[in-house]
Amino acid sequence: MKKHLLFLGPPGAGKGTQAALISKANNYLHLSTGELLRKEIDLDTELGKKVKDIMNNGELVSDQLVLDIVKKNLEENNKGWILDGYPRNLSQVNSLNEELMLINQQLEIVFYLDIPDEVLINRLLMRGRKDDNEETIKRRLQIYKENTQPLIEYYKKLSLLEYINADGDLKTISADIKQKMA
């Protein structure tokens, strides 16, 4: 059973939903950088104030900032972990590799949740989070394509990538993931 997982895919692909299910079933840490940042905004912390406008515009917050959050959370954990929404560009991949080396852990599997653009735009509009308006969604998709999509090829070359068709019902998708991580 794989213990160190990563979910890759565009906004709205269902990474958070699937990661939460696995995390609950196996008692793994669910490390969602987006969730952690939103919590800071809700609590109106210094960090939250810094990232609020950036996130509401659909831009990426700084690599250093997310790295600090990831480090803090990974070091406290030992059972297993699921990275959701991190890394999002190649520089974040490099930082993650360094951090994993330091704590002597290895990424074991990368799930790539694939889904057509039309489907995810509709899903996000229905979800209606603060950054789920048409303009911001377009921007997030563009940023995903420019910065995050290259990671698919990167992890494929490392033979870590598992393709998941994320355009279906929740149960079929979880069953597929479960089978592949066994």
Position 85 contacts ligand ADP (CB under 6 A): yes
Query: Which of 18-26, 85-93, 108-116, 162-170 is the region at the interface with ligand ADP (rule: CB under 6 A)?
Result: 85-93
Q: Measured at CB, which residue is nearest to ligand ADP?
A: 34
Instruction: Kindly write down the DSSP assignment for every residue of 49-99, as one continuous string.
Output: HHHHHHHHTTPPPPHHHHHHHHHHHHHT--S-EEEES---SHHHHHHHHHH
Query: Which of 19-27, 51-59, 98-106, 153-161 is the region at the interface with ligand ADP (rule: CB under 6 A)?
Result: 51-59
Site for ligand ADP in 106-135 (CB under 6 A): none
Whole-number minimum distance, CB 84 to ligand ADP, in Å?
7
Position 34 contacts ligand ADP (CB under 6 A): yes
Position 6 contacts ligand ADP (CB under 6 A): no
Scored b (16 or more CB within 10 A) or e, 88-110 reads bbeebbebbeeeeeeeebebebb
The alpha carbon of residue 75 and the mean position of all alpha carbons in its chain are separated, in whole angstroms, by: 18
DSSP-based three-state secondary structure for 163: strand
Contacting positions for ligand ADP (CB under 6 A): 11-12, 33-34, 37, 54-55, 58-61, 66, 85-86, 88, 92, 140
